[in-house]
Amino acid sequence: MSFTTIVKNEISKLETKQVENITELSAILRNIGVINNIIKVQTENASVARRIYTLLKDTFNISPRIVVRRGFNFNKNYIYIIEIDKKIQNIIDSLELKTSIPKEYIYSDEYLVRAYLRGLFLSVGSINDPKKSRYHLEFMVSSKEYADFVSELLNKFELNSKVLKRENRYMIYVKEAEKIGDFLRLMRAMNAVFYYEDIRIYRDHKNMTNRLNNCEQANVDKIIDSANKQLKDIEKIESIDALELLDDKTKEAAIYRKKYPEVSLAELSEIISLETGNKITKSGLYHRFNKIKEMANKIKK
């Protein structure tokens, strides 16, 4: 079962007020309703089909007909078709289905906006499972005008939605993990929220650990590379027996680098300070190795 199905199943069972039901139905029928002599609504989700049937029955006091069919092949899910042949004009007028964008009374306050988005998600929404793929929430609609309207509703809650054209349709999408979690809270899909946030926290922690490990490895590589260059400079000086030409402190640094070839400059300064009793800072040690490098470069020339 997909994460989208899990979320739709959960919000299909919410208890809502009559005024919310009208708004939710408006979004559903506008997006997956086909209006001719009768109204047909089609979905592959049994829980969503029951939700639509119940909302129509309770709101308009009708008993729609439900037809169940298999998909195009036997691997497909069942398709549930709700057919309405009564009070069609009343439904069209009440749900504001005549205009390209519903009138404002359909979504006049925050609760009605949530209800509209709930109906939108039940009809044309999908969300990736955070465990299996990238964070992604989307809605597919038929027109740019309506897509902009939906995006505006989403952004009332600062979800940072964007609109993208896909062939002859338009996709409204949200990519940020935190914003998708906020959307699930708006839908009151609390079981989905707990699952989603657990996975998100785990993934964020894992990514942070990987970044720290990569950063640590990069630092180790840098330390080893720097130490190897210092050792090569020392070997160049030793190749002509010129180590004795260095002053005592610089020669001491060369001896300790050969003794501890893999430690960082900071660690080497502490080792020298402890073993000799003479305090040397990382900066001071760096200055000594610069002298060694200068001599090695002169020898190369």
Instruction: Encode pLDDT of 265-278 as tens digits.
Output: 888 888 888 888 88
What pLDDT, on the 0 to 100 scale, is given for residue 281?
Answer: 87
Instruction: For the beta carbon of residue 43, count every other beta carbon within 10 angstroms.
Output: 22
What pLDDT, on the 0 to 100 scale, is given for residue 146?
Answer: 95
Query: How many whole angstroms separate alpha carbon 80 and alpha carbon 88?
Result: 20
What pLDDT, on the 0 to 100 scale, is given for residue 249?
Answer: 84
What pLDDT, on the 0 to 100 scale, is given for residue 210?
Answer: 72
How far CA 217 is from CA of 205, 220, 223, 231, 245, in Å, comes to: 18, 5, 10, 21, 37
Which residues, given as ranges, of the chain have pLDDT below 70? 71-76, 133, 205-207, 212, 216
Query: How many whole angstroms separate alpha carbon 254 and alpha carbon 230?
Result: 8
What pLDDT, on the 0 to 100 scale, is given for residue 152?
Answer: 95
Q: Are strands 169-174 and 137-141 parallel, antiparallel or unpaired?
A: antiparallel
77-98 per-position pLDDT tens digit: 788 999 999 998 999 999 988 8
Domains of the chain and any CATH numbers = 3-188 (3.10.28.10), 212-300 (no CATH)
Task: Identify the residue whose tokens are 């809502």.
Answer: 16
Instruction: For the beta carbon of residue 200, count every other beta carbon within 10 angstroms.
Output: 17
Query: How many whole angstroms separate alpha carbon 138 and alpha carbon 162?
Result: 10
Q: DSSP 3-state assignment of 74?
A: coil
What pLDDT, on the 0 to 100 scale, is given for residue 72?
Answer: 65
Alpha-helical runs (H) found in the chain:
3-11, 18-32, 46-60, 88-94, 110-124, 144-155, 177-186, 190-238, 248-259, 265-276, 282-300
What pLDDT, on the 0 to 100 scale, is given for residue 75?
Answer: 54
DSSP letter, residue 104: G
Helices 46-60, 18-32: axis angle to 10 degrees equals: 120
